[in-house]
Amino acid sequence: MRNFGLIIVGDEILSGKRQDKHMAKVIAMLGERGLSLAWARYVGDDRANITAALQHAFASGDIVFSCGGIGATPDDHTRQCAAAALGRPLALHPDAAVLIRERMQDVAREQGTPYEPDRPDNLHRLNMGTFPEGAAIIANPYNKIPGFSVGDVHFVPGFPVMAHPMIEALLDGPYRALHGSHVQTERSVIVMGAMEAALTPLMEAIESRFAGIKVFSLPSVDHPTYGRHIELGVKGRPDATVPAYAALLTGLRDFGAQLGPEMVR
């Protein structure tokens, strides 16, 4: 089973100037396809930190989406950090150059001005197509300015209107065969008045006995209906949760726990 990871780059997220709109959407897109997010990381506009995060991503073997920082302004560092993490030079991707020039011509037409390919600002825009050597481009249906991929690490803009369709196309393209591979079910029960420490040996025994099963414990101290309680349950592949949950219930009854409603998700 392949893991999915997410990196979100930008000081504006960490400072609170902008609210992150990527994580919830990526979780939803994965969930719609029977997939799930294994990890996520927020990184500010610091080259050392971005490079370290990308070194981890490349070494992880996971499928990773990195959002933000691939423009060509002084606070955009992701392209350079990806090259540093890989130990490769940056190079203008020929297909990216074609797309960027097409975009500049489109803008000139929309503004009713002549297209001047050698104008300094237009030459600067080609920097958005300089990627680590050997990268592949990711089509951007919004404005043609592409993202890029190196193996299973994929770099898209920070703008959700661009990033999300690009990620969706990857999920439905090269990763279509993985759809459904993360499908899990949860089964849980409300345990009244219990303490987590007293139930920890039972939780550990269930995880040890049933491979691939995770036990979760969600305590509450002031629920309006149940008062102090724990929602205790198991999650994993559907065929594995049924016997694991049965064993959990048996253990709770042997313990003398007071049980409330049961839930299946």
Beta bridge partners of 148: 137, 155
Indicate whether 219 pLDDT > 90.
Answer: yes
- Answer yes or no: are the C-beta atoms of 33 and 40 closer than 8 Å: no
Q: Going edge to edge, which strands form the sheet with 153-156?
A: 39-43, 4-9, 63-67, 153-156, 147-150, 136-138
Question: pLDDT exceeding 90 applies to what percent of the chain?
Answer: 97
**Structural domains in the chain plus CATH codes:** 4-178 (3.40.980.10), 185-264 (3.30.70.2860)
Collapsed DSSP state (helix, strand, coil) of residue 100: helix
Residue 163 pLDDT grade (very low, low, confident, very high; cuts 50, 70, 90):
very high
Look at residue 194 in the predicted model and tell me its pLDDT.
85
Residue type for 39, please?
W
d(Cα 111, Cα 178) in Å, to the nearest integer?
Answer: 44
- Answer yes or no: are the C-beta atoms of 70 and 131 closer than 8 Å: no
- Residue 3, burial from CB neighbour count under 10 angstroms (0-12, 13-18, 19+): middle
**How many Å is the Cα radius of gyration of the chain?**
24
The residue-averaged pLDDT of 2-8 equals 97
Indicate whether 65 pLDDT > 90.
Answer: yes
Give the global pTM.
0.89
Mean model confidence pLDDT for the chain: 96
Residue 74 dihedral angles phi and psi, to the nearest 5°: -60, -20
The residue-averaged pLDDT of 11-22 equals 96
d(Cα 94, Cα 91) in Å, to the nearest integer?
Answer: 9
The residue-averaged pLDDT of 112-118 equals 96
Q: What is the DSSP letter of 225?
A: T
The residue-averaged pLDDT of 235-241 equals 93
Look at residue 1 in the predicted model and tell me its pLDDT.
82
Look at residue 240 in the predicted model and tell me its pLDDT.
93
Helix (H) or strand (E) run with residue 237 in it: none
d(Cα 151, Cα 80) in Å, to the nearest integer?
Answer: 17
Collapsed DSSP state (helix, strand, coil) of residue 151: coil
When comparing pLDDT for 40 and 226, which is higher?
A: 40
The residue-averaged pLDDT of 119-126 equals 96
Look at residue 187 in the predicted model and tell me its pLDDT.
97
Strand ranges (E), the chain = 4-9, 39-43, 63-67, 90-92, 130-132, 136-138, 147-150, 153-156, 185-192, 214-223, 227-236, 258-264
| DSSP alpha helix (H) spans, 75-232 | 78-86, 94-111, 120-125, 160-172, 196-209
The residue-averaged pLDDT of 27-35 equals 97
- pLDDT per position as a tens digit, 185-215: 999 999 999 889 999 999 999 999 999 999 9
